[in-house]
Amino acid sequence: MSGDPGAAPAHARPADAPLDSIRVTGLRAFAHHGVFEHERVDGQEFVIDVEVRLPLGPAAGGDDLERTVHYGELSEAVVEAVRRDPVDLIETVAERIAGVALGFPAVHETVVTVHKPSAPIPVPFDDVAVTITRRRAPAAPAAGAAAPTIPATTPGGSE
């Protein structure tokens, strides 16, 4: 990173810079999410796929970890987000994870899939999953203002 205080922050993206991807798939976390009492009491394994989109050229060009996302730290933060505070819907878990991913300053957009392979469905199935895409809102004109997230397209679905 540059020591010049007037330089653009590492996460700033020129309008023509492409968004690249870092994907972590198959993260596993045991948690107590679900509508039914037995899901809250017994818990179950959830499987998470998270993709973060950011320009990787600056990090690659300078071989600089500070200009990308440390995927080990991202993975730990995602698993921690899944494990805490039980909720009814995996849609809610997905939103929580998207917020965590967008908390990394270099991330401009994220795609999160939450799999619930042991969902209480009375017929044979392989998996139930919810996928959402969220992006950082355009930068606010005021310096230092936090950028809110805005929804992108979200496939419908419920548990």
Which active-site residues does the annotation give? 116
Strand ranges in 17-143 using DSSP code E only, listed in sequence order: 20-31, 44-54, 109-115, 129-136
**Rounded to whole angstroms, how far apart are CA atoms 96 and 132?**
11
Which residues contact residue 99 at a Cβ distance below 8 angstroms, ignoring those fewer than 6 apart? 81, 134, 149
**How crowded is the C-beta side of 56, counted as CA atoms within 13 Å?**
9
- Contact assessment for residue 151 and residue 99, using Cβ atoms and an 8 Å cutoff: no
**Rounded to whole angstroms, how far apart are CA atoms 4 and 68?**
19
- Compute CA distances 123 → 36, 105, 118, 128, whole Å: 17, 43, 12, 12
